[in-house]
Amino acid sequence: MRIVRVYTGEDVRYGLAEATTITLISDEPFAAWETEDVIPLAGARLMPPTTPTKIVCVGVNYRGHALEMGHDLPAEPLIFLKPPTSLNAPMGEIRLPEISHQVDHEGELAVVIGRRAHRVTPEEASTYVLGYTCANDVTARDLQKRDGQWTRAKGFDGFCPIGPWIDTEVDPSDLLLETYVNGEQRQSARTSDMIFDVPRLVSFVSEVMTLLPGDVVLTGTPSGIGPMHSGDNVEVRIEGIGSLVSRVL
């Protein structure tokens, strides 16, 4: 099942995406719902597929990226937050802030939480997950280095494109993740290269803060991060999920 949020011209509704259609549903996917009207997928204005109370991100979670950044492998997950106002839709616009001179792409697998998770074990973590989507943890790299912490560099409006939908059936353990800029491949790795896998991450985060339905956990980026410039088209592709495209302004 692929869950979308779509602007219908009147309001934003959840729906189920098929090959050519979207079937609207009567409520959020975390509640009991019934199917309703069917609209074409082609030309639909997709929104971020969830509205999280928080976006929890994981730094340095791919072995190749740790080497690229000159970091030792972490002993436990390194987590930080992006604000919900950083959310950006599929086919959305990433606006480069004037105060930064290097804004990088970071293609990532995103986990969407399906029910309240508080101090769950890795063994039970998957039962708290609704599904998975593509994400781009956009980062003002120069500000990150200047500040010594990551809130400003990661937190600009629009710095977290996610989508195009939440896939509820894909197995996240060994998926091909790729990032392209103007059709040129910049990142390519498998999620099996993660230092901490999805169950471990969900469990770890839930020990610190309660995860609520719709919350998002970004699982880290592989090697190959690099700058984006005005006019670029950036695409994050994840095997079994789909493609997230953004335009840089």
For position 179, which CATH number holds? 3.90.850.10
Asked whether the beta carbons of 49 and 58 are under 8 A apart, the reply is no
Do 104 and 161 belong together in one domain? yes
Domain hosting 149: range is 48-248
Give yes or no: residues 39 and 142 share one domain.
Answer: no
Same domain, 140 and 241: yes
- Is the same domain home to 63 and 180? yes
Query: What is the longest distance spanned by two Cα atoms in the chain?
Result: 52
pLDDT in tens, the chain (249 residues): 999 999 999 899 999 999 999 999 999 999 999 999 999 999 999 999 999 999 999 999 998 776 777 777 889 999 999 999 999 999 999 999 999 999 999 999 999 999 999 999 999 999 999 999 999 999 999 999 999 899 999 999 999 999 999 999 999 999 999 999 999 999 999 999 999 999 999 999 999 999 999 999 999 999 999 999 999 999 999 999 999 999 999
List of residues 6+ apart from 110 with CB closer than 8 A = 132, 133, 134, 135, 162, 216, 217, 218, 219
Q: Which residues pair with 67 in a beta bridge?
A: none
- Both 78 and 29 in one domain: the answer is no
Alpha-carbon distance of 113 to 214, in angstroms, equals 5
In a shared domain, residues 77 and 144: yes
Domain CATH for 7: 2.30.30
pLDDT of residue 66: 67
What's the whole-model pTM score?
A: 0.96
How many domains does the chain divide into?
Answer: 2
According to the model, what pLDDT value does residue 72 have?
78
Q: Are residues 18 and 102 in the same domain?
A: no
19 and 123 both lie in a single domain: no
- At 68 the pLDDT is 73
* Claim to verify: residue 195 and residue 239 sit in the same structural domain: yes
Judge if 18 and 116 occupy the same domain. Answer: no
